[in-house]
């Protein structure tokens, strides 16, 4: 988004006319008009005051930037991967820092880079990891302050899971206290109101959004309970939770990452790499062009542009699984090595 778009959108959001903005900043209305038409640009000395009046910052005005389209995001992520592969972990850490500095107002950029840096842990020497870890924490903490509430909450949740994975349990517990508590029964009041008003289309949409969120939450809980059963050496109990998650997916139907992870955990606990490979193949087969579940037919699901070939998307996903230390039990499996060979890994 260019500076002309930022000025226009912020001005309209504040309910200001071009003349009103001009009066506040001390310039003529035609000057503001020229800014918004990209005929000319504000004098650099006006930027701090202009940013303050528009309720933003100079970085945003200069478009270091506000939004990022999926294609640009995909390109930058692939650049991180290529840099890590060709130049090593330190170069990719430096690149991540540079990308965030270039896009300080894009929370999604913060989340993407923080998540990527976490995947590098196996490549980073133990002595260097603490500094990178603190860098990731700082990125999430900055993203938590975003004015985009959903992304701010995503950052807060991601930070919780990071603490948990690093066994920083006290920090994880403190982070958990800061997360919002959402009650399904409370959220269901909205579609109830819409139903009573006769707003049936709106009630469908609100209800299906809640249903989608609820299903994800249930799958996550079953995934956690599966891991609890395994940790308690109660494999049959763990299998029941994993099977329940699979049955829910079959009813929708959806391809749920939590369900696949539960199944992989069962295969690992059973020391059954053959079953794990079968699960991975099923996952890889279903990550492209999933049909929209009929039960969510009133939702307009945003489908990403097909900028990555299906085979490459599957290869990237398999690469993530290969880097996961918990999948190490697969490395000695001939069928897993054959799968890697098929995707040139």
> In terms of domains, do 76 and 150 share one?
yes
Q: Are 32 and 91 found together in one domain?
A: no
Asked if the bond preceding 16 is cis, omega within 30° of 0, the reply is no
Residues 108 and 94 grouped into a single domain: yes
pLDDT for 344: 78
Q: Does residue 133 lie within any of the structural domains?
A: yes
Between 68 and 331, the more confident residue is 331
Residue that finishes a domain, picked among 149, 181, 213:
181
Q: What does 243-303 look like in DSSP terms, one character per residue?
A: HHHHHHHHHTT---HHHHHHHHHHHHHTT-HHHHHHHHHHHHHTSSSPPPPGGGTTS-PPP
**123 shares a domain with 56:** no
Do 95 and 158 lie in a common domain? yes
Contact 109, 99 (CB under 8 A): yes
Tokens at residue 109, please?
């950029």
Is residue 32 in a domain?
A: yes
Q: What is the rounded CA–CA span in Å between residue 159 and residue 171? A: 9
Domain assignment present for residue 82? The answer is yes
Q: What is the mean pLDDT of residues 86-97?
A: 94
Of all residues in the chain, the percent with pLDDT exceeding 90 is 26
Range of the domain at 46: 3-61
Give the pTM. Answer: 0.58
Q: What is the CATH number of the domain that holds 145?
A: 1.25.40.10
Boundary-marking domain end, from 159, 181, 203: 181
Going from the C-alpha of 42 to that of each of 34, 50, 181, 228, the distances in angstroms are 9, 9, 44, 59
- CATH number, domain of 47, equals 1.10.260.40
- The token pair at 328 is 């190490």
pLDDT in tens, 120-144: 998 999 999 999 999 999 999 998 8
Q: How many separate domains does the chain show? A: 2
Residue 276 lies in a domain: no
> pLDDT, tens digit, for every residue of 244-286?
998 888 877 666 778 888 998 999 899 888 888 888 888 887 7
For 111-116, what is the mean pLDDT? 93
Q: Is residue 39 one of the residues assigned to a domain?
A: yes
Model confidence at 50, pLDDT cuts 50, 70, 90, reads confident
In this predicted structure, what is the pLDDT of residue 219?
A: 87
Give a yes or no: residue 108 inside a domain.
yes
């Amino acid at each position: 988004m260019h500076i002309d778009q930022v000025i226009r959108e912020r001005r309209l959001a504040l309910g200001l006319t071009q003349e009103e903005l001009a009066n506040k900043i001390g310039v003529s209305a035609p000057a503001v008009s020229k800014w918004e038409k990209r005929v000319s640009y504000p004098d650099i000395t006006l930027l701090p005051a202009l940013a303050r009046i528009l309720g933003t910052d100079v970085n945003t005005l200069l478009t270091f930037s506000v939004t990022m389209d999926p294609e640009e995001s995909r390109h930058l992520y692939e650049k991180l991967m290529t840099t890590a592969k060709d130049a090593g972990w330190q170069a990719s850490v430096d690149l991540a820092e540079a990308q965030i500095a270039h896009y300080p107002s894009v929370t999604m950029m913060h989340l993407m880079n923080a998540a990527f840096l976490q995947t590098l842990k196996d490549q980073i020497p133990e002595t260097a990891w603490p500094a990178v870890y603190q860098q990731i924490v700082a990125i999430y903490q900055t993203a938590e302050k975003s004015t985009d509430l959903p992304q701010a909450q995503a950052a807060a949740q991601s930070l919780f899971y990071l603490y948990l994975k690093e066994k920083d349990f006290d920090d994880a517990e403190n982070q958990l206290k800061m997360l919002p508590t959402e009650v399904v029964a409370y959220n269901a009041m909205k579609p109830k109101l819409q139903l009573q008003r006769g707003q049936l289309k709106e009630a469908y949409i609100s209800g299906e959004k809640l249903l989608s969120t609820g299903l994800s939450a249930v799958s996550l809980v079953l995934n956690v309970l599966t891991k609890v059963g395994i940790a308690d050496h109660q494999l049959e109990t763990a299998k029941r939770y994993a099977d329940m998650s699979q049955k829910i997916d079959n009813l929708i139907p959806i391809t749920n990452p939590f369900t696949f992870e539960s199944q992989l955990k069962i295969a690992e606990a059973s020391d059954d790499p053959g079953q794990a490979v079968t699960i991975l193949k099923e996952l890889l087969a279903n990550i492209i062009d999933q049909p929209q579940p009929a039960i969510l037919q009133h939702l307009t699901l945003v489908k990403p542009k097909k900028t990555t070939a299906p085979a490459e998307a599957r290869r990237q996903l398999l690469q993530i699984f290969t880097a996961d230390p918990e999948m190490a039990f697969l490395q000695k499996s001939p069928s897993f090595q054959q799968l890697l060979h098929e995707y040139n890994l």
